[in-house]
Amino acid sequence: MADSFADRFARTRSIFGPLVWGLDPSGAVLRSWGLDDSPDGLDRFVEVVLEAAVGVVGLVKPQSAFYERHGWRGIRTLGRLVADARQAGLLVVLDAKRGDVGSTNEAYAEAFLGADAAIQVDALTVHPYLGFGAMNVFVERATQAGSCLLVVTRSSNPEGRRVQAARDETGRSVEATLLEEIGRRNAELAPGAIGPIGAVIGPTHMHPELDLASANALCLAPGVGAQGATPSDVAQVFHVCRDRVMPSASRLLLEAGPEVTKLRSEIEALAAVFKDQLGD
């Protein structure tokens, strides 16, 4: 079995801190950088962010949609970004939010997880709303590859609350049930350790509190900056598992582009804040 993502994250965190840089080249971002909203502009964006990231941050999180919208050239650029980032020692979390059933999930898993994947990433976001059991093929492949699945549990967008906070006949919420299932599977797959299944928990919603401690899971915390979450919010929500949270910021940092020096300075400043807030 491959070295686990949790172990790689711990090593990376000890050097750079837990910050995840979201690489989301929307049309607005490309234009604000003086780039064309085109495959050529996307290629230049990737060149800049790779130069800015290496040596100052340990994890990057490209949102697949912003690359896919440029067609086959955008997907090719995403593949190059992922390969070059990993070659440079960065951990890559692909925010693709895949999730289906049966052979479709198997195809998604083959696309992104494992040494034979077309675009091999370290972690992948997935949706659980076709059933937790439907993700078994993701879980199996991630476990063998030493990758991490990040299950959307409590998203940062307000529209998600109606579904995620809905309660079943026992009074348990969807998000609490998901987190409990994540903990149960992690205990089976990695007894006494952090398991290969993580959770996406938006720190913009603090109440009710979730039982984050018992899931033995890493947590991706999106929404820092443009979506309203602060480093203090992250520290408050994840106070019981500060060493297991991966706070993510995208637009907040991309606003500093396209100057590499300015980008690196902003990344270092935010990383230092998270090291302080999360106890390092």
**Is-catalytic flag, 97?**
yes
Q: What is the CA radius of gyration of the chain?
A: 18
Q: How are beta strands 59-62 and 197-201 bridged, if at all? A: unpaired
- The rounded distance, in Å, linking the Cα atoms of 249 and 226 is 8
In the set 61, 97, 262, 275, the catalytic residue is 97
- CB of 56 within 8 A of CB of 268? yes
- The rounded distance, in Å, linking the Cα atoms of 98 and 248 is 19
Tokens 């350790």 found at: 193
Catalytic residues: 97
